[in-house]
Homo-oligomer: A and B are copies of this chain.
Amino acid sequence: MTLNSNLVSDQDLVLLIDAHKFKDTFIVKAITSKSSKLKKVGGLGVIDTSKLVGLEYGAEFEIGRKRFIVLRPDIMDNIKNLQRKAQIITPKDSGVIIINCDIKGGDTVIEGGLGSGALTLVLANIVKPKGKIVSYEISDANIKVGKTNLKNTGLEKSVEIKKKDITKGITEINVDSVILDIPEPWHVVNNAYNALKPGGHFASYSPTMNQVEKTTRELQKNKFIMVRTIETLQRELVVGEGGTRPGFEMLGHTGYVTFARKIL
């Protein structure tokens, strides 16, 4: 059974969505082996994952006593379901990073601050299978959570985690992008310059304007051009029975993203 099969195979990561309101989602690995097919899923209890094997993707089934739709998890499902240690970089900001850093298949990307791995997943999903994300992280707790999240999404092959302080140096050279989510990104501007290929992309995600200011001034002192910082606001448009209106809930702020490109 190939990856393109429309039936769930052994070892597939499967998304279960409640077939009532389509809100609650769970990501589970389908396992036929007798010894490990039973899996405790938070909110569902223990389920026999071998029963998922052979189900048709997109169809509705009863699991336990609830009805679910079975889908392949997409990148948004993966982000929604990952374990979190710290604030993650949300999809609205990772979309901005992808397009402004021109992330594409085959890219080598250095990431400063693995965090919970939310951005790492998004990047790995796009550079794979030929490209690679190298993620520098100093916190053991983050590394543990990040590794679990990568494993749960099958993207671990495209990510190398290094327990190193990125402010102390970057080993790699000629990379396509350096992307930071650390408290003092201005200390990495010089290291990023040395790691990047000419024309390569620098990006730094920071919550405060003061961080943006320091990072920008450091980039301007170095051989970086097209230095710019972007803030993104996102809101749902809700189509209800009574009419259509913007959503009431909205994140007032996540972070600014500062971009630049290396020249010689």
Inter-subunit contact B236/A230 (CB<8 Å): yes
Would you call A239 and B217 a contact (CB within 8 A)? yes
Given the interface pairs A57-B198, A59-B198, A264-B56, the reply to whether A246 lies near B236 with Cβ below 8 Å is no
List residues of chain A with CB under 8 Å of any chain B CB: 4, 6, 17, 22, 56-60, 69, 71-72, 74-76, 91-92, 94-96, 98-100, 102-105, 122, 125-126, 128-129, 174, 197-199, 201, 207-213, 216-217, 225-226, 228-240, 242-253, 256, 261-264
Of the residues B226, B234, B244, B245, contact of A22 by C-beta under 8 Å: B226
Chain B positions within 8 Å of A100 at CB level: 76, 91, 95
Q: How far is the CB of A252 from chain B (nearest CB, A)?
A: 3
**Are B213 and A244 in contact (CB-based, < 8 A)?**
yes
26 A-B Cβ contacts within 8 A? A56-B264, A57-B198, A58-B264, A74-B199, A95-B95, A95-B98, A98-B98, A98-B99, A102-B125, A103-B126, A104-B128, A105-B105, A105-B126, A105-B129, A208-B240, A209-B243, A229-B239, A230-B236, A231-B235, A231-B236, A231-B237, A231-B246, A237-B256, A245-B253, A247-B252, A250-B252
